[in-house]
Amino acid sequence: MAEQSSVFLVSDSYTAISLIILVVAIGSILWSTLRTGVPPMPSNVHVADRMLSLVPATTTGTIYELGAGWGFLALKIAGRFPAVQVIAYELSPIPFLVGKSLQLLANLFGFRRNLEIRYGNFMAAPLHDGTVIMCYLMIGAMIRLGPKLRAELPAGAIVISNAFTMPDWQPETTEIVESYQNTPVYLYRQEHPAVRLQDA
């Protein structure tokens, strides 16, 4: 009887610990979503492929993914462009840890050495060397991001957005991914040299 009680106690302890971990993980994601206004949603595979198809094969410099989520798109970008530095930012701790783990695992086996997934707010990160910006953000984040990109990106840099427009920017190309809910993919281009915010 004592043994049976002990088994139940251990089982209950594991259940309680699992529930605590689950609550903390969900709470962390919800907190980050409320903080940034952007939930960690992965790009649909068809949409991600269309976004990648818009990146010129001759791209040099640095490709940034802003809001890396779970790291899946960042890994695809790094695989498609192995000679280009790829830097991805994520502010939600749990998705960041998943993405960073995938990056380190790939690096361990000699893959995606050009990829770095960083924990942090991309709004505070310098993007001056960015030749390509990839993002899947909500409209509120796009409103905040537009002036930053205008102020920092070099002339000719492109911004590729999944589903959401960037106010005050005119898309150079809009493609519709019919295979996934007619999702639009927007390509914007920085036509002029970066204009510092204080000079605008």
Domain that holds residue 53: 45-199
Query: What is the tally of structural domains in the chain?
Result: 2
**Is residue 29 located within the same domain as residue 113?**
no
Domain identity same for 109 and 185: yes
Question: Rounded to 5 degrees, what are φ and ψ at 168?
Answer: 70, 5
pLDDT of residue 44: 96
User: Quick one: pLDDT at residue 41?
Assistant: 75
Stretches in the chain below the pLDDT threshold 50: 21, 25
Give SS3 for 54: coil
22 and 102 inside one domain: no
CA distance 77 to 8: 48
Residue 27 shares a structural domain with residue 119 = no
Together in a domain, 22 and 82: no
Are residues 149 and 131 in contact, defined by beta-carbon separation less than 8 angstroms? no
Instruction: Give the pLDDT confidence score for residue 26 in this predicted structure.
Output: 57
Same domain for 27 and 103, yes or no, is no
Structure pTM? 0.82
Please give the pLDDT value at position 21.
Answer: 47
